[in-house]
Copies of this chain bind each other. A is one copy, B any other.
Amino acid sequence: MKEIKVFCPATIANISCGFDVLGVALDSVGDEMVIRKTSENGIRITRLEGQNLPMETLQNVAGVAGLALLAASDYSGGFEIEIYKKIKAGSGIGSSAASSTGAVWAMNELLGNPFSKLELVQFAMEGERLASGVSHADNVAPALFGGFTLVRGYEPLDIVPIPSPSELFATVIHPQIEVKTSDSRKILKTKITLADGIKQWGNVGGLVAGLFTNDYDLIGRSLVDYIVEPIRSILIPGFDEVKIAAIEAGALGCGISGSGPSIFALSKGEEKAVKVGNAMREIYQNIGIDYDVHVSKINLDGVRSISS
């Protein structure tokens, strides 16, 4: 195989209580990429549509992630990359992670799968380091593994796949405002109270248990963030209203996707997820902020090949 076309899913990281550890992959929102083997060594971005992003290999997350893979492989050739962005950069649903993981997953396929998924996560994390200054795994892990993933820890990197109940759907609304990841990091406090910490890890345990047992109510009760959301949500106009509207429309829970500005909700069943999307939409219509809404089932496979 010389060429492969892949779907690279959008992802929700920082799922409420699971700040920095829990993420999930979406099924109907994502980029497409074509990766092609070349005889000359190195990586070239030959096409980039849909977003205004750098095409120089060292300035592009897919390029940097691909170079990390190349450096670890004994392959003497190189790759060309075409990127068709559908995820908006800076929307908070893993735009950079989609490109990084799509690149390394596709390259691994073209090379006959010499690398494990855990190794691919580590290559893709180099793309994240370029994008945000931090080589975090909370978006690339679900993008590669699919479903929910827990990044248990980094020393060494430990990714734990968590199952997803079959009727769980995600709704994401992206208000078209800019929230810089660096700003949303900066406003976090470096200290939290032990009491809030205990409530938070109680909820992480509850959320993981609810996902294993298909207990939608438990999932809903656990989707609470005592620590980050109260601070970061002030950067997102309309957040509180959107959250109230989502819950009133029947969502199990609602929170900030990644570092925002997108807001996600989880619901039982597609019909509910659509209704939740409509309720969220109404808030931004009233406020007068443009938005995109996505409703998606949970993507259980992660990056996948699609027909060219």
Contact = CB atoms under 8 A, between A and B. Distances in A.
A22 interface: yes
Interface in A185-225: 188-195, 197-210, 212, 218, 221-222
Interface size of A as a range? 35 or more
A113 to B, nearest CB: 24
A19 interface: yes
Given A194-B190, A201-B201, A162 B209 contact: yes
Contacts of A22: 205
Given A150-B209, A209-B208, A218-B160, A192 B197 contact: yes
Given A200-B201, A201-B200, A206 B18 contact: no
A269 B38 CA distance: 53
Contacts of A208: 204-205, 208-209, 212
Nearest to A195: B190
Q: Is the interface of A mostly helix, strand, loop or mixed?
A: helix
A99 to B, nearest CB: 25
B160 A205 contact: yes
A151 interface: yes
A2 interface: no
Given A19-B198, A201-B18, A201-B204, A221 B152 contact: yes
Given A191-B192, A191-B193, A218-B160, A203 B152 contact: yes
A33 interface: no
A190 to B, nearest CB: 6
Contacts of A35: none
Nearest to A150: B205
Contacts of A190: 193-195
Interface of A: 17-22, 150-153, 158, 160, 162, 188-195, 197-210, 212, 218, 221-222, 227
